[in-house]
Amino acid sequence: MANYNVLITDGSGSENMQYGTYTVSATYAPGYDLTTLAPTSYTVNATSQSGAFTLSASGTLTVTFNETGSEGGTPITSGSVVMTDETGETQYGSVVEVNENGVATFNNVPYGSAQNPYTLYFKQLTSDENHNPYEGVFAVGMGDETQAEYVINTLKCTEQNFTLTDANYTGMPIQSANLNFETED
């Protein structure tokens, strides 16, 4: 029997192999624990077939949601976020809850290096009652095994509806005007 080195690109690869049973190991997968490969055996028979293998990543990403999107901002107090593809349509893994300090922790995420970070995508599903969730999908370049990121959640603005009528003629609407509102100290 021959030995094979199958290049995996974007999660898949192929090789013409001789019949037989093979011991399988991973020798290169940045950001992943190579000892977690499963299964570690594969049998080739006379028909074309597919093998599905898994590895566990070993990085930790802490995402803090707050009003500034940087360290020290007022945190949101609840919410949820999930890892997705770049479109936000395909979810990977379970939804992670945001704690009272605005923190969501993703364990076992892949990472690369500072020069070649592994890009992960996330979508915030909910925020607390006082803040809007981050709109759209946000990307994180995981360049370290342990990394912290900050994401802004703006204060919610609720729609206010106003009428302006003539003070002398009850119910008569003012045709055109501007009302200016300024925050009181």
What pLDDT, on a 0 to 100 scale, did the predictor assign at position 131?
Answer: 95
Average pLDDT, the chain: 94
pLDDT at 183 over 90: no
- Report the number of distinct structural domains present in the chain: 2
- Any domain includes 181: no
Residue 43 pLDDT > 90: yes
Last residue of a domain, one of 10, 35, 57: 57
pLDDT of residue 159: 75
Cα→Cα distances 61→35, 141, 161, Å: 21, 10, 42
Do both 42 and 71 map to the same domain? no
Of all residues in the chain, the percent with pLDDT exceeding 70 is 99
pLDDT, residue 185, reads 66
Q: Does one domain contain both 32 and 81?
A: no
Does 178 have pLDDT greater than 70?
Answer: yes
In a domain, 107, yes or no: yes
Residues 2 and 67 in one domain: no
Q: State residue 48's pLDDT score.
A: 83
Residues 50 and 67 in one domain: no
Q: Which residue segment(s) compose the domain that 44 sits in?
A: 1-57
* 151 in Cβ contact with 138 (< 8 Å): yes
Any domain includes 165: no
Whether residues 41 and 87 fall in one domain: no
* pLDDT tens sequence across 103-152: 999 999 999 999 999 999 999 999 999 999 999 999 999 999 999 999 99
Report the CATH number at residue 75: 2.60.40.10
Q: What does the chain come to in residues?
A: 185
| Residues 69 and 48 occupy one common structural domain | no
* Torsion of Cα atoms, 32 then 108 then 101 then 92, to 10°: 110
53 and 127 housed in the same domain = no
Model pLDDT, residue 184: 83
pLDDT value, residue 181: 87
Whether 159 is covered by a domain: the verdict is no
What's the pLDDT tens digit per position in 50-89?
A: 999 999 999 999 999 999 999 999 999 999 999 999 999 9
Q: What percent of the chain has pLDDT over 90?
A: 84
